[in-house]
Amino acid sequence: MDKSSTMGEKSEQEQRQTLKDSAFRLLARREHSQFELRQKLAQKGWPKSWIVELVNWLAEEGWQSDERFAQSFVRDKLMQRQGRLKIIAQATQQRGLDRELLEQVLAQHEVDWRSQCREVHARKFGEQPPEDKKQWAKRVRYLQQRGFNSDEIFAVLGELER
């Protein structure tokens, strides 16, 4: 149902309270970035100015925090053994997070990316080196898709060939 049809039936104060309740329901399920929260509320048909005002208020009052969301997001992605490049791309492009904030959060975790790349490779391919160029290229593509950079990938594959 379009919000404009119900807006005439309720006072503005009641409508804003309904918007606030909707935002709190979203935040009760999990942390959201400001970008995500604005998108989800806009999809429900709320006026953009109300959404911006509410999301700013939620952040000022501590109900919403991009930093908390970034911590949670990075922790989840590290548990999934994703590489740094994929984590940054997903967080900035899909979740609307600031790259500097992400860099700070990633630095706090002190991840050994080469070791993580090695673990991801071993889980998928074992400890055996690639048999031929086709197999080598397949492994490189797999690790790139998981978000590891070329230095990490070539170091891991180079260790196997020794």
Q: How far apart are CA 94 and CA 89, in angstroms?
A: 8
pLDDT at 19: 97
pTM metric for this prediction: 0.84
Which is nearest to 59 in space by CA: 36, 75, 78?
Answer: 36
Architecture of the domain spanning 3-60? Orthogonal Bundle (1.10)
Confidence of residue 8 (pLDDT cuts 50, 70, 90): low
Domains 3-60 and 113-161 share a fold: yes
- Joined together, the tokens standing for residue 44 give 């429900």
Q: Is the pLDDT of residue 162 over 90?
A: no
What letter represents residue 7's amino acid?
A: M
Question: Are 83 and 148 contacting, i.e. CB atoms less than 8 angstroms apart?
Answer: yes
pLDDT per position as a tens digit, 122-158 = 999 999 999 999 999 999 999 999 999 999 999 999 9
Give the whole-angstrom CA distance, residue 128 versus residue 117. Answer: 15
The pLDDT of residue 1 is 42
* Mean residue pLDDT across the chain: 93
Where exactly are the structural domains of the chain?
A: 3-60, 66-109, 113-161
Predicted pLDDT of residue 9? 75
Give domain 113-161's CATH architecture. Answer: Orthogonal Bundle (1.10)
Tens-digit pLDDT profile for residues 27-57: 999 999 999 999 999 999 999 999 999 999 9
